Structure 1
Amino acid sequence: MPATAILLLAAGSSSRLGRPKQLLRYRDGTLLRHAAQTALAAALGPVIVVLGSGEPECREALLGLPITMVLNLQWDEGMGTSIATGMQCVREAEHDAVIITLCDQPAITACMLRALVRHPHDAGCSIVASRHGDNRIVDPPVLFTAQHFAQLRLLKGHDGAKAIIRQRPAEELGFVPCPEAAFDVDTEQDVAALNHR
């Protein structure tokens, strides 16, 4: 299996929820710690966590985990800046691909992350997204092979990596079935569902 870095985005202010979703209690810790532990369990390569809003509390929630934490000072300018910040730790000489994942998708498993890595080599795709239902929407987690690293480092704004994806021909885009990607935590209703998991 190729060396694959995992970029876990956890810098946002959770404006829709009104409180930091990263620090919501989940299982034996927080939503953020659970996401980091899932990424580590995939055993694909280094796990890089991008922090921003609520950085001190988030660092504390991640204590003891063998991860790299980086601070995005421009977190309020959008997800693109968090991806660009995290990508400074990802090198073409060391990694064949990077998986970009979020801290608010608690149903994602290590097995699902590994499935993203297997797909490009089976199908010749340079970008592989999660798919739930019959959609053809690019949902995280998303894998990008090394040919996209330079562009990922230049991202800005709220659009994240979608601008890169839109530029690529359809045959470069693959999908892995992942119904669990449909659940993320954005509202109090989602928090209630999280507490019942």
Structure 2
Amino acid sequence: MNGVFYESAPVGSATSSSNPHIGILLLAAGQSTRMGQNKQLLPWRGKTVLHAVCEALWGGWDLSNVHFPVGRYPFVAVTGYDHKLLDPIVESYGFSTVWNLRPENGQGLSIGLGVQQLVNQEWLPLDGIICSVADQPLLTPFVICELIDAFQNQWIIERRAGELPSKTIVMPHYGAAYTPGNPVLFGAHWFDALCHIEGDQGGKTIIQGPGRDYIRNIWIPADIGDDVDTPTDYERIGNRESEDI
């Protein structure tokens, strides 16, 4: 297992009054080929899977004291062929949208489009970006807070040492099996590399390559990192709705 496990501080416990600026990239352009229908629009707790993911992302970011002094959120969602159905949902949570015209070319294209949109926006320069998939209905704001806190503490160390832009990558591991998963927070050093990923490997090309020595792994005790990729996944995860997770 790459990296070291990092015990993040409680929310809002930064040791510096200057906090890193964190954006969110939501990847929602997948074609859901194994599901047979758009998995992001599947019913979930009275809304959809996509609503659940957006609520977790926005809620964790909002709790983590990374507010911007501008009127917009540093959130971008990349959507694909179903953008007319997906865009109204993500926009209701403050996301601007980018349409991936060729989602069949792989997740790398969506990541590049989203990162470019985030870094080109007219807001403060970002120190890190949370890259999230749109099919984790069990995701909670707690996970996002833990990612941001771990990054923030390492970012402060890097800043004091004059080592910015940050090379830190924060990755969650879920449950008793320490299963690696999403979302992943990438420091600004990796923005250019994120814009040039090819195929469908996504951030793994960085995590398993040049970024492996800069990973900070955090442990999320609850086993809530599951993706919904197939009808079997959806049924299995749906049966956990009443569990205390």
The normalised TM-score by structure 2 is: 0.72
Mapped partners of 2:233, 2:39: distance in 1: 10
Structure 1 ranges of 4+ moved more than 4 A: none
The SS at the match of 1:40 is helix
List gaps (5 residues or longer) in structure 1: none
Residue identity matched to 2:118: V
Of 110, 116, 122, 1:82 maps to 110
With over 3 angstroms needed to count, the CA separation of the structure-2 counterparts of 1:65 and 1:182, relative to structure 1, is closer
Does 1:55 pair with 2:83?
yes
Q: Which residue does the alignment assign to 1:176?
A: 218
Of 82, 99, 106, 1:71 maps to 99
Does 1:114 pair with 2:145?
yes
Of 100, 116, 131, 2:173 maps to 131
With over 3 angstroms needed to count, the CA separation of the structure-2 counterparts of 1:65 and 1:122, relative to structure 1, is closer
Of all paired residues, the percent bearing the same amino acid is 29
With over 3 angstroms needed to count, the CA separation of the structure-2 counterparts of 1:181 and 1:153, relative to structure 1, is farther
With over 3 angstroms needed to count, the CA separation of the structure-2 counterparts of 1:9 and 1:115, relative to structure 1, is same
Q: Which residue does the alignment assign to 1:164?
A: 206
Deviation per CA, 1:110-161: give whole Å up to 9, x if none: 12112112213435661111112444x6521101000000111111211111
The normalised TM-score by structure 1 is: 0.89
Larger Rg: 2
Moved more, 51-60 or 72-81: 51-60
> How far 1:101 sits from its partner (Å)?
0.9
Aligned length: 196
> How far 1:82 sits from its partner (Å)?
0.8
The SS at the match of 1:159 is coil
> How far 1:194 sits from its partner (Å)?
3.8
Structure 1 contact 131–181 (Cα < 8 Å) conserved: no
Of 22, 36, 46, 1:18 maps to 36
The SS at the match of 1:183 is coil
Residue identity matched to 2:226: F
The SS at the match of 2:186 is strand
The SS at the match of 2:25 is strand
Deviation per CA, 1:44-70: give whole Å up to 9, x if none: 452211101311111244453321111
Structure 2 contact 173–181 (Cα < 8 Å) conserved: yes
Does 1:190 pair with 2:233?
yes
Moved more, 161-170 or 72-81: 161-170
The SS at the match of 1:154 is coil
Deviation per CA, 1:40-97: give whole Å up to 9, x if none: 1122452211101311111244453321111111211111111001001222952110
List gaps (5 residues or longer) in structure 2: 1-18, 67-72, 158-166
Moved more, 142-151 or 44-53: 44-53
Mapped partners of 1:78, 1:88: distance in 2: 16
